[in-house]
Amino acid sequence: MKPRRGAKDRFTVKGNAIVAGGAGTPGIRACDALLEHGLSGLMMIDLNPAVAKKEIAAMQAKFPDAQVRALDRPVDVTDEEAVEAAVEDATRELGPITTLISFVGVYDIRTNTISPGYMDTILNEGDEIMKHREIWAARNPSGRTGSPSELTGTVLLLASDAGTYINGMDIVVDGGQILFS
Ligand SMILES: NC(=O)c1ccc[n+]([C@@H]2O[C@H](COP(=O)([O-])OP(=O)(O)OC[C@H]3O[C@@H](n4cnc5c(N)ncnc54)[C@H](O)[C@@H]3O)[C@@H](O)[C@H]2O)c1
């Protein structure tokens, strides 16, 4: 194998993934990054899948050679039966599932977690917490809160061959916040 090819392959994502809580901003960014890196099939499941209809359509157009799907019924990841049924549906539609990622709590065949710092998602929106956002940014060594797209590098590391021996780890992606805590 050519050396430069090896470098590219290391961060290639193979197979099919289920992304739970995928309709939220961090989930959508991660789905897009996984597809950019070669994911063959995606099944997004969420308590509120309707909110991501536009984003799913955009990803279907952007990645025509991949199978990009979202279960169009609500799936609660704390409901074992609902998750089992979702996995069955995903497997039937995509084939064997190789990667499970959850933005309601992350799980995988290898089990790793990502602990984000304060990120710019709907959770942290609104004028009433503007003061808090300013304090979070001021107290962060990076001087700002994080963009959900800044979690994708870690998602790719864990989902690709670059991370096959990372197991049982929690990776903190917080701009250095932990240093000040
Ligand atoms: N935004 C932050 O600053 C921040 C920081 C640290 C940790 N987190 C954690 O990261 C995760 C996602 O972040 P967010 O909340 O900002 O993004 P978000 O609200 O944009 O995405 C979360 C998604 O999960 C779905 N969801 C919630 N409960 C579910 C359930 N039981 N079953 C299936 N889907 C469910 C929601 O419908 C939503 O689409 C959360 O667990 C949150 O606690 C967020």
Whole-number pLDDT of residue 103? 84
Domain that holds residue 55: 3-176
Predicted confidence (pLDDT) per residue in 122-160, tens digit: 888 888 888 999 999 999 999 999 999 999 999 999 989
For residue 15, give both structure tokens: 């197979």
CATH classification of the domain holding 46 = 3.40.50.720
Decide if 78 is inside a domain. Answer: yes
Collapsed DSSP state (helix, strand, coil) of residue 55: helix
Ligand 1 atom nearest to CA at 52 = 39
The CA 46 to ligand 1 mean position distance, Å, reads: 10
Question: DSSP code of 123?
Answer: G
Average pLDDT value for residue range 163-168: 87
User: Ligand 1 centroid vs 8 CA: distance in angstroms?
Assistant: 31
pLDDT tier, 105 (very low <50, low <70, confident <90, very high otherwise): low
> Residue 91 domain-assigned?
yes
Task: Report if residue 181 sits inside a domain.
Answer: no
Would you say residue 169 lies in a domain? yes
By the 10 Å C-beta count (0-12 exposed, 13-18 middle, 19+ buried), 160 is classed as buried
**What does the pLDDT look like over 50-63, one tens digit per residue?**
999 999 999 999 99
For the chain, give the mean pLDDT: 91
Q: Could you give the number of structural domains in the chain?
A: 1
Whether the model pTM is above 0.85: no
Return the biggest CA–CA distance within the chain.
Answer: 56
Give the contacts of 64 (CB within 8 A, at least 6 positions apart). Answer: none
Give which of 118, 147, 119, 152 is closest to 31, Cα–Cα. Answer: 152
Residue 104 lies in a domain: yes
Q: Are 13 and 156 in contact (CB under 8 A)?
A: yes
